[in-house]
C-alpha cells in the first residue's frame, strides 16, 4: 500500500446534515455538523482518498463561533486515533466560523485552519485546509537589485536568490510590488506579479510610456512566509506612442457593482457587462484595481487582476484578514482601449488567524 501525504497540510471535512425536530428532515434553528478530521492521503489499492491524523498530533481543539450564538468549543483526544468524528449542533446563521487547532504532547500548535460557512439547516459541506505552523520563519532576501528599461511598456528586474531554513532556493517565489511614487507600494494588496518558483529576474510588462515606476520585490517560501524588505529600485519607461489600431474608442461600462466578503482572504466582485463599438461583450476583459484607502488605486500600475474575457464577476483572493479593501474595475476592449470610470466599492474580509 502506497500512501502519499499532503506535505504540511491536514484536510478537515465538515459534512453538514439536517437537524432533528418534528418530522424534521431539516431543522429551523440549527444544523447538525458532523466533523471528520484526518490528513488526506492516497491509497494505491483504492481510488478514494484515505484520512489519517499525523502521529505527531495528540489532541485537536475545535471552536465554532458566529454572530448571535455562544461560541462552541471542544477538545478531542487524537493520540491513539487515525481519524476523529465529532458531532455538533450549531445555531443557524450567516458566516459561522469553524476553527480547528492541532497540538502535540508539548502543547505546541502544529496545524491551524479555519473556514466560514452560513448555516440554514440544509445539507452542505465545507473543507478546512490546515496549514502547518512548524515553519514560521520567512526567507532571508536582500531585495531587488536592478531595474532595466526595455521599452515604453517593459522594465526588467533582477535580484540575487533568497535563502530559507526549510524551502530550497528553486522553490522560492517572489512577489513584485509596484508604485508610481517612492515608498508607495501597498503590501496589504496582492502583488502586481508573482514570479515562477526559483526566478531571479522578471519582466514587468503593461506599463505606461514615459512613466517612472518604483519596485519592491519580496520572497515567499512554501509555507507562505514572506520577508519584509523594503529595498526599492526605480526606472522610467521609454517615451513611445503605440500604433493606432483604428479603434480608439473605449468600452462603455458602469463600473463594479457589488463586493461580497467570502472569507478572511477572499472578496467576490460583480458588475454588468460593458459594451463597445467594435468588441463584443464576450471579448471585453476587466482590470481590477485594489487599494486599502478610498480612492487609493494607482491606474498607472498594472492591475492586481485581469479577468477572462466576458467575465461579469471575479473572486479576489490573497487578501489580508479583517482588512477593508476598495475596488475599481475598468473595462478593456480588444484594441487595448481602457475606459476610465472611478466607481468604487468596498468590503472588509472576515476575521481569520491565517
Euclidean distance between CA atoms 203 and 193, whole angstroms: 10
| Phi and psi, residue 171, nearest 5° | -110, 0
**Burial profile 210-235: b = 16 or more Cβ within 10 angstroms, e = fewer:** ebebbbbbbbbbbbebbbebeebbeb
**pLDDT at 144 (0 to 100):** 98
- CA-nearest of 4, 65, 49, 225 to 132 is 225
Residue corresponding to grid cell 490546515: 130
Pick from 236, 269, 294: which residue ends a domain? 236
Q: What does the angle CA 53 – CA 57 – CA 58 come to, to the nearest 5 degrees?
A: 115
Structure-derived torsion over alpha carbons of residues 33, 39, 42, 45, reported in degrees to the nearest 10: -70
The three three-digit cell numbers of residue 178, written as one number: 509596484
Same domain, 289 and 260: yes
Check residue 295 and give left, alpha or beta (phi > 0: left; psi -120 to 50: alpha).
left
Residue 38 and residue 16: Cα distance in Å, rounded?
17
As beta bridge partners, residue 128 has 12
Cα 21 to Cα 29: distance, rounded to the nearest angstrom: 10
- From its phi and psi, is residue 284 left (phi > 0), alpha (psi between -120 and 50) or beta? beta
Q: 80 Cβ partners below 8 Å, 6+ apart?
A: none
- Report if residue 2 sits inside a domain: no
Residue 217 lies in a domain: yes
Q: How many domains does the chain have?
A: 3
CA distance 186 to 183: 9
Q: Tell me, yes or no, whether 41 lies in a domain.
A: yes
Both 171 and 272 in one domain: the answer is: no
pLDDT tens for the chain, residues 1 to 354: 233 333 334 444 444 443 333 333 344 688 877 777 664 433 333 333 344 677 888 898 999 998 889 999 999 888 877 777 788 889 999 888 988 898 988 888 888 888 888 888 887 666 677 777 777 899 999 999 999 999 999 999 999 999 999 899 999 999 999 999 999 999 999 999 999 999 999 999 999 999 999 999 999 998 889 999 999 999 999 998 766 668 899 999 999 999 999 888 899 999 999 999 999 999 999 999 999 999 999 999 999 999 999 999 999 998 998 899 999 999 999 999 999 999 999 999 988 754
Per the structure, the complete domain to which residue 324 belongs is given by 256-348
Burial (CB count <10 Å: 0-12, 13-18, 19+), residue 33? buried
**pLDDT recorded at residue 46:** 34
pLDDT value at position 296? Answer: 95
CATH code for the domain in which residue 151 is found: 2.60.40.10
Q: Assess if residue 69 is contained within a domain.
A: yes
Predicted pLDDT at 38: 61
Q: Give the per-residue pLDDT at 240.
A: 86
C-alpha cell at 108: 505546541
Q: Residue 76 — left, alpha, or beta (φ > 0 → left; ψ -120 to 50 → alpha)?
A: beta
| DSSP type of residue 193 | E
Task: Note whether 47 and 77 are same-domain residues.
Answer: yes
Tell me whether residue 183 is exposed, middle or buried, using C-beta atoms within 10 angstroms of its C-beta: 0 to 12, 13 to 18, 19 or more: exposed
Helix (H, G, I), strand (E, B) or coil at 159: coil
The residues, ordered by sequence, that sit 6+ positions from 107 with a Cβ below 8 Å of its Cβ are none
In a domain, 207, yes or no: yes
Of 132, 158, 190, which closes a domain?
132
152 and 97, same structural domain? no
Same domain, 48 and 153: no
Is 33 part of a structural domain of the chain? yes
| Residue 284: per-residue pLDDT | 97
Say whether both 324 and 267 belong to one domain.
Answer: yes
Amino acid at each position: 500500500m502506497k500512501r502519499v501525504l499532503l506535505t504540511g497540510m491536514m484536510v478537515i471535512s465538515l459534512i453538514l446534515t439536517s437537524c432533528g425536530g418534528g418530522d424534521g428532515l431539516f431543522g429551523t434553528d440549527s444544523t447538525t455538523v458532523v466533523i471528520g478530521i484526518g490528513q488526506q492521503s492516497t491509497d494505491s489499492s483504492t481510488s478514494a482518498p484515505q484520512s489519517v491524523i499525523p502521529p505527531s498530533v495528540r489532541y485537536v481543539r475545535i471552536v465554532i463561533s458566529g454572530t448571535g450564538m455562544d461560541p462552541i468549543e471542544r477538545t478531542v483526544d487524537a493520540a491513539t486515533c487515525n481519524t476523529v468524528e465529532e458531532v455538533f449542533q450549531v445555531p443557524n446563521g450567516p458566516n459561522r466560523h469553524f476553527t480547528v487547532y492541532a497540538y502535540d504532547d508539548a502543547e505546541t500548535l502544529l496545524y491551524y485552519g479555519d473556514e466560514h460557512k452560513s448555516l440554514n439547516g440544509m445539507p452542505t459541506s465545507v473543507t478546512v485546509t490546515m496549514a502547518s505552523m512548524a515553519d514560521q520563519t520567512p526567507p532571508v532576501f536582500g531585495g531587488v537589485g536592478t531595474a532595466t528599461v526595455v521599452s515604453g511598456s517593459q522594465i526588467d528586474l533582477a535580484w540575487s536568490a533568497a535563502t530559507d531554513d526549510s524551502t530550497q532556493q528553486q522553490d522560492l517565489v517572489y512577489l513584485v510590488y509596484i508604485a508610481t511614487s517612492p515608498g508607495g507600494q501597498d503590501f496589504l494588496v496582492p502583488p502586481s506579479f508573482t514570479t515562477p518558483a526559483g526566478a531571479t529576474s522578471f519582466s514587468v510588462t503593461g506599463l505606461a510610456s514615459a512613466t517612472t515606476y518604483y519596485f519592491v520585490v519580496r520572497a515567499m517560501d512554501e509555507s507562505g512566509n514572506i520577508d519584509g524588505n523594503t529595498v526599492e529600485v526605480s526606472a522610467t519607461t521609454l517615451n513611445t506612442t503605440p500604433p493606432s489600431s483604428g479603434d480608439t474608442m473605449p468600452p462603455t461600462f458602469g463600473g463594479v457593482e457589488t463586493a461580497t466578503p467570502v472569507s478572511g482572504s477572499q472578496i467576490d466582485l460583480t458588475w454588468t457587462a460593458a459594451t463597445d463599438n467594435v468588441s463584443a461583450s464576450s471579448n471585453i476583459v476587466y482590470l481590477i484595481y485594489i487599494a486599502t484607502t478610498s480612492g487609493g488605486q494607482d491606474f498607472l500600475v498594472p492591475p492586481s487582476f485581469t479577468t477572462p474575457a466576458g467575465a461579469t464577476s471575479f473572486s479576489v483572493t490573497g487578501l489580508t484578514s479583517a482588512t477593508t479593501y476598495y475596488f475599481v474595475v475598468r473595462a478593456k476592449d480588444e484594441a487595448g482601449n481602457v475606459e476610465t470610470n472611478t466607481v468604487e466599492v468596498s468590503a472588509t474580509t472576515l476575521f481569520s488567524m491565517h
